[in-house]
Every structure is written in structure tokens, then in C-alpha cells.
Structure 1
């Protein structure tokens, strides 16, 4: 297997872009705090109300861990899927 031993020279456009750096801090909008989602998992469909379920097993949804016994608001469709897969407690 052959290797290339020549060095790569930066292009003229790359050299120009490093020389002319502009400050755009005024153009950036202010950051707002992220609100917690209304439901965990998939979003609600039009006209649906969230359903609160109690988990019977550890579950990781969207990068957040939920322990057994946690009560989480989910969409009715997602609640039906969780019940079918055995993730909700029988209460």
C-alpha cells in the first residue's frame, strides 16, 4: 500500500478566510431557556390530551432515564405501546 509523503499547501481562499475574521455577536439573538416538554416521547397529535403512566421497568426515552415507579406524561398512542410492551405498572 503506497502512502503520499507530499505536504498539502493551504488554498488561497483558506488563507484569506483566516485573515478576515468579523465579530457577529450583535447579530445573534438572545438565548432563551428551554422549556421541559409537555410529554415524554413522541409529541401529542392534534386534539389529544397527555396520559400519565407509571413505569414498571427502567426506561430510557430521548436520553433521559426513568426508574421503575416514575410517573410520566405521554401521548395516548405511546401509552398504548408502553402497555403492550409491558413497561407500565398495573394500577
Structure 2
């Protein structure tokens, strides 16, 4: 039987490694960035599409409620429309 020779980091060790405090400015910078693409990645030459959801949807472990606006690839937007997940606008 093989044994694991690596040591497990404790919470104190993890706290020592992250010495940079999270500031309000850092949080604002994260929210100002362009929205992340949800679902499958964009193909070459494709532009992202914003869609408004009409139903609850869980994508990659994140829950999106009805009315949420997400940015997706055009192919994924077409699939969501075909399955009835996007709101009529």
C-alpha cells in the first residue's frame, strides 16, 4: 500500500500564504471587468451574446434565476432559445 508523503496544509498555513488583503477597490475592479462567458467557450470569430433567462438554470455549478442576464456564445444562446430558457423580448 502506498503512503502519501505530502503534508496537509492547515488553515493557519493557508492564511500565511495569502498576505494580500482584499480591499473594496479590488472588489470593484472584479465587477467592472467584462462579464465572463457562461457555458461553452466562444468559437473563433464569434462575438458573445447577452440573453435574459426565463427559467431557473444551473450552469457549471452556478445558479441563475429567472430574469438574470448572462453572456454566452451564439451557439449556446441558440440552444437555450430552442429549449425555452430565454425570455421573449
User: Shorter chain as normaliser: what TM range?
Assistant: 0.5 to 0.7
CA contact (8 A) 2:35 2:71 kept: no
Ranges in structure 1 where 5+ consecutive residues have no aligned partner: 1-10, 22-29
2:73 is the counterpart of 1:75: yes
SS of equivalent to 1:89 = coil
User: What is aligned with 1:55?
Assistant: 53
User: How many aligned residue pairs are there?
Assistant: 66
- Of the three residues 23, 40, 43, the one matched with 2:41 is 43
Structure holding more helix per residue: 2
State how far apart, in whole Å, the 1-side matches of 2:71 and 2:34 are. Answer: 12
- Of the three residues 50, 61, 64, the one matched with 2:62 is 64
State how far apart, in whole Å, the 1-side matches of 2:64 and 2:57 are. Answer: 5
TM-score, with structure 2 as normaliser: 0.62
Greater radius of gyration (CA): 1
Deviation at 1:36, TM superposition (A): 8.5
Structure 1 runs (4+) deviating above 4 angstroms are none
Deviation at 1:38, TM superposition (A): 2.7
Deviations 1:19-65 (A, max 9, x none): xx7xxxxxxxx99xxx9973100000011110000000000000000
